[in-house]
Amino acid sequence: MPTDVNFGLATLSDQLILATVLLYVLAMIGYALDLGFGRVQAAAPARELVTAGGGTPVAEAGDVQTPGARADGSGTGADDAVGVPPAVRQPPAWAARAATIAVALSSLGWATNLGALIARGVSAGRWPWGNMYEFVVAICFAAVTAFLVMQARQPVRFLGAFVSVAAALGLGFAVRYLHVQAGPVVPALNSYWIAIHVTAAIFASGLFIVAGVAGILFLTRGDGPSRLPGREELERVAHRAIVIAFPIWTFAVIAGALWADKAWGRYWGWDPKEVWAFITWVAYAAYLHARATAGWRGRAAVIVQLIAFGCLLFNLIGVNIFLSGLHSYAQVP
């Protein structure tokens, strides 16, 4: 281990990662309790369209009425919901508290995850994503960041259990199989471009992971009552995340080409990492194009999105581990 590395900060970073895994697991349990015992959401009922002559309304899927509400708006409340057991209509108070605690634990885990990255970077005097271990740690941080920001703006707490378990498993995999001692980066990464190109790729990946979780939930959700929102809402959450992530990923690909020109004297060289980054870009572009121009909605669009998500995962993990090329500096033990 290089003598210019701060051993104390490097050890602190490793300890903070272990604490982060524990906090994410505890948060996942809290979210799971909320999902398991919280309020059931009915499948989206028919939307009522009034005919031009004021005749019988025509049903169209989409809108959700308040449980127990009558057509004239004189509903008697949630207790009148047809076919929903009283225990489900009125979730226990501790389920709501578990959800609140889970959000707090996620936030605390986010803070320790950030602290681990900062300690790792300061210990080696560089940006803390110069190898595969640090890259995975940073992507887990980005995924939780994306979830918490989205949760602050819209009710997406249902994603918490799945994002938390994905982050915990990612960190556990990094600690178990990818961990290397803190130290200086290889010469190819000793550039200010690492702060531009890699940072953009990390945060775009975090958003793509949240979208991927929503897409998987879309495919697994049944048609009946569920504690998950309807498929339309799940697809909307995934689409919003991708709309934000795609231009960031586009910038990351362009920045990577500029870095390649500076480092190797060419913008494009068909390196496996370059190829799969471009394949991922094309796959997400195809999803957005199909949804915007061809009007794809529902299962078909989500399947395209998950294919793109698979390309992303292979680009982030598989290329570095299984393929060789100019980007084979992941330092996988």
Total number of domains in the chain? 2
Q: Are 136 and 206 in contact (CB under 8 A)?
A: no
Q: Say whether both 79 and 53 belong to one domain.
A: yes
70-80 pLDDT, tens digit per residue, is: 434 444 443 44
Say yes or no to pLDDT of 50 above 70: no
Q: Say whether both 28 and 51 belong to one domain.
A: no
Q: Are 194 and 239 in contact (CB under 8 A)?
A: no
Cα 154–215–116 angle (5° rounding)?
70
Q: Say whether both 164 and 256 belong to one domain.
A: yes
Say yes or no to pLDDT of 318 above 90: no
What is the per-residue pLDDT for 57? 42
> Which one has a higher pLDDT value, 72 or 164?
164
Say yes or no to pLDDT of 117 above 50: yes
Say yes or no to pLDDT of 58 above 70: no
Q: Say whether both 77 and 218 belong to one domain.
A: no
- With respect to residue 327, please indicate whether it lies within any of the assigned structural domains: no
Map tokens 């496996």 to a residue: 272
> Which one has a higher pLDDT value, 239 or 265?
239
- With respect to residue 1, please indicate whether it lies within any of the assigned structural domains: no
| Lowest-confidence segment of 96-100, 282-286, 323-327 by average pLDDT | 323-327
d(CA 102, CA 29): 8
Q: Say whether both 317 and 279 belong to one domain.
A: yes
Percent of the chain with pLDDT over 70: 79
What is the per-residue pLDDT for 330? 57
Q: Say whether both 274 and 135 belong to one domain.
A: yes
Q: How many CA atoms lie within 13 A of 71 on its CB side?
A: 9
Q: What DSSP state is assigned to residue 226?
A: B
What is the per-residue pLDDT for 222? 75
What is the per-residue pLDDT for 94? 75
d(CA 308, CA 288): 11
Q: Say whether both 157 and 51 belong to one domain.
A: no
What is the per-residue pLDDT for 324? 65
Q: What is the mean pLDDT of residues 240-250?
A: 96
| Lowest-confidence segment of 34-43, 81-90, 139-148 by average pLDDT | 81-90
Helices (H), 125-230: 132-153, 160-173, 197-220
- With respect to residue 12, please indicate whether it lies within any of the assigned structural domains: yes
Q: Say whether both 69 and 13 belong to one domain.
A: no
> Which one has a higher pLDDT value, 305 or 294?
305
Q: Say whether both 216 and 78 belong to one domain.
A: no
- With respect to residue 2, please indicate whether it lies within any of the assigned structural domains: no
Q: Which of 60, 83, 106 is the last residue of a domain?
A: 83
- With respect to residue 329, please indicate whether it lies within any of the assigned structural domains: no
Q: Say whether both 58 and 202 belong to one domain.
A: no
What is the per-residue pLDDT for 60? 37
Q: Which of 31, 56, 83 is the last residue of a domain?
A: 83
Q: What DSSP state is assigned to residue 180?
A: -
- With respect to residue 15, please indicate whether it lies within any of the assigned structural domains: yes
Longest Cα–Cα distance in the chain: 84
302-312 pLDDT, tens digit per residue, is: 999 999 999 99
> Which one has a higher pLDDT value, 270 or 78?
270
Give the list of residues 6+ apart from residue 268 with CB closer than 8 angstroms, or none. 257, 260, 274
Domain that holds residue 66: 47-83
d(CA 56, CA 92): 40
- With respect to residue 102, please indicate whether it lies within any of the assigned structural domains: yes
Q: Say whether both 15 and 137 belong to one domain.
A: yes
d(CA 185, CA 107): 30
Query: Considering the entire predicted model, what is its pTM?
Result: 0.81
φ, ψ of residue 81 in degrees (nearest 5): -60, 130
What is the per-residue pLDDT for 230? 86
Average pLDDT across the chain, whole number? 82
Q: Say whether both 73 and 189 belong to one domain.
A: no
Residues making up the chain, counted from first to last: 333
CB atoms within 10 A of CB 183: 18
Q: What is the mean pLDDT of residues 226-253?
A: 92
- With respect to residue 101, please indicate whether it lies within any of the assigned structural domains: yes
